[in-house]
Amino acid sequence: MKILDLNLTRESGFVTASARVIFEECARPEKEVYIKTPLQFANGFEANPDAFLVGCLLPALHLGEKRIFMDQEICPFLKEGLGVAMKILSHWTKGRYAPIGIEAKTRKDLAILSPPRTGMVMSGGMDSLAALRLNRLNYPKGHPGYVKDSFFLHGFDIGGVEERGSKYHVFDRAMDAILKITRDAGTSLVPVYTNIRHLCDERELWLNSFFGAVLAAMAHTFGNRINLMFVGSSYDIPNLHPCGSHPLLDPEYSSYGLRIRHRDYEMSRLEKIQIVSQWDTAFQNFRVCLANVSDQLNCGKCEKCVRTMTELTALGVLQKTRAFAADEVTPSDIEQFDITIRVRPPFYQPLIPLLRQKGRKDLADTIERLLKKAP
């Protein structure tokens, strides 16, 4: 794979960092990949070679490329980290993702950001909202780790699957809801758009290996604006497994000038939900739905929505949020899904005793019965 012709342009209200990706070992056509943000956030945004190296690495491994060549200089600290990341991924995939060479000169100079500034990935879901709330509870306003910018990425789940379309109206609606939260928290909401996922949009690659690298690529384009990026955890310590965002992987996507921290994986999903439920603005405007339907922030019908509604029922707080149209979960809502796949059981198992305590024996029995089908 070659990553060439990095460019920074300003037009149509956006500043766009782009690069040309040429595949050498597979028959895919070359593609221009980009990361862009509105002009109002152009200060500190750059066509950073580190961003495109991180963003293109996983498709290169997955598609059998033998190397990555770049005609730009990269950070040696990042290059070392990617060597570690490739060893981890090779282990996880039993050698399928064999490490490849990175052919690029390394930078000798470095401009350290001053004063330091912290950002975080913001999806509007429980992981990112809990991370922001904990930041506000644990960091004084004058501390360099106090989050100043929250980054919301189009091309991740919304607009990420090419065949489903861009769904900009869904992204805009979600941004309106998240903006209420970030304003309440006193942090800037920075919308970002990318097509890096479209290099290879295979579900296995995305979930098991890729999505954390796309978040890191986004972070590196803002390397002159922030020097620390928080990424909320997807799983807690007892349930860690090979995953696109992981406490072993995410920090290895750091450069010397931009640190990436995978945070809060000492906390369970229910602990995070409890934290968010005590922050009313977030609890009325969260977004957990992956269906991205046209008329609702949360559809209330997909597995992620039903699971979250069940979690809120177990905690006795479902009726306190307007984020879902419904205020009750039924056994038939849960029965339509296979809750034994893709590390779902750890989310459901802790709900059983809590649901029984809340008098929802019907839901507890349903979950218990469905989990027994696990291989």
Same domain, residue pair 295 and 361: yes
Six-digit token string for 126: 């429980």
Q: What is the pLDDT of residues 209-254, one digit of tens each?
A: 999 999 999 999 999 999 999 999 999 999 999 999 999 999 999 9
Same domain, residue pair 99 and 124: no
Determine the pLDDT at residue 110: 85
Kindly state whether residue 272 falls inside one of the protein's structural domains.
no
Kindly state whether residue 108 falls inside one of the protein's structural domains.
no
Please determine, for residue 375, whether its predicted confidence score (pLDDT) is greater than 80. Answer: no
Q: What is the pLDDT of residues 36-47, one digit of tens each?
A: 999 999 999 999
Please determine, for residue 256, whether its predicted confidence score (pLDDT) is greater than 80. Answer: yes
Determine the pLDDT at residue 156: 95
CATH of residue 131: 3.40.50
Determine the pLDDT at residue 161: 84
- The residue ranking higher by pLDDT, 260 or 201, is 260
Same domain, residue pair 255 and 309: no
Please determine, for residue 314, whether its predicted confidence score (pLDDT) is greater than 90. Answer: yes
For residue 251, the SS3 value is helix
The mean per-residue pLDDT over the stretch 127-156 comes to 97
Q: What is the pLDDT of residues 48-82, one digit of tens each?
A: 999 999 999 999 999 999 999 999 999 999 999 99
Six-digit token string for 157: 């789940």
Banded pLDDT at 1 (limits 50, 70, 90): very high
Please determine, for residue 162, whether its predicted confidence score (pLDDT) is greater than 90. Answer: no
- DSSP count for the chain of H helices, then E strands: 13, 10
Six-digit token string for 232: 């909320």
> For strand 188-194 and strand 31-38, is the pairing parallel, antiparallel, or unpaired?
antiparallel
Non-local CB neighbours of 268 within 8 Å, separated by 6+ positions: 236, 350
**Could you tell me what percent of the chain has a pLDDT over 90?**
92
Please determine, for residue 374, whether its predicted confidence score (pLDDT) is greater than 90. Answer: no
Kindly state whether residue 280 falls inside one of the protein's structural domains.
no
Same domain, residue pair 84 and 140: no
Kindly state whether residue 16 falls inside one of the protein's structural domains.
yes
Pair 67, 78: CB distance under 8 Å: no
Please determine, for residue 373, whether its predicted confidence score (pLDDT) is greater than 90. Answer: no
Kindly state whether residue 273 falls inside one of the protein's structural domains.
no
Determine the pLDDT at residue 111: 82
Pair 301, 188: CB distance under 8 Å: no
Phi-psi region of 160 (alpha: psi -120 to 50; beta: other; left: phi over 0): alpha
Q: What is the pLDDT of residues 179-213, one digit of tens each?
A: 999 999 999 999 999 999 999 989 999 999 999 99
Same domain, residue pair 256 and 126: yes
Kindly state whether residue 113 falls inside one of the protein's structural domains.
no
Same domain, residue pair 307 and 216: no
Identify the DSSP state of 29: P
Q: Tell me which residue range forms the domain holding 51.
A: 2-103
Same domain, residue pair 97 and 217: no
Q: What is the pLDDT of residues 322-356, one digit of tens each?
A: 999 999 999 999 999 999 998 899 999 999 999 99
Same domain, residue pair 139 and 215: yes
- The residue ranking higher by pLDDT, 172 or 292, is 172
Identify the DSSP state of 165: -
Identify the DSSP state of 26: S
Same domain, residue pair 40 and 92: yes
Six-digit token string for 74: 């990269």
CA atoms of 78 and 67, how far apart (whole Å): 16
Please determine, for residue 92, whether its predicted confidence score (pLDDT) is greater than 90. Answer: yes
Identify the DSSP state of 255: -
Banded pLDDT at 292 (limits 50, 70, 90): confident
For residue 256, the SS3 value is coil
Banded pLDDT at 293 (limits 50, 70, 90): confident
Same domain, residue pair 240 and 353: no
| Last residue within a domain, chosen from 263, 296, 316 | 263
The number of folded domains in the chain is: 3
Banded pLDDT at 112 (limits 50, 70, 90): confident
Determine the pLDDT at residue 308: 98
Per-position b or e across 329-357, b if 16+ CB within 10 A of its CB: beeebbeebebeeeebbebbeebbebbee
Same domain, residue pair 124 and 246: yes
Banded pLDDT at 89 (limits 50, 70, 90): very high
Determine the pLDDT at residue 37: 98
| Last residue within a domain, chosen from 61, 80, 103 | 103
Six-digit token string for 102: 């990175």
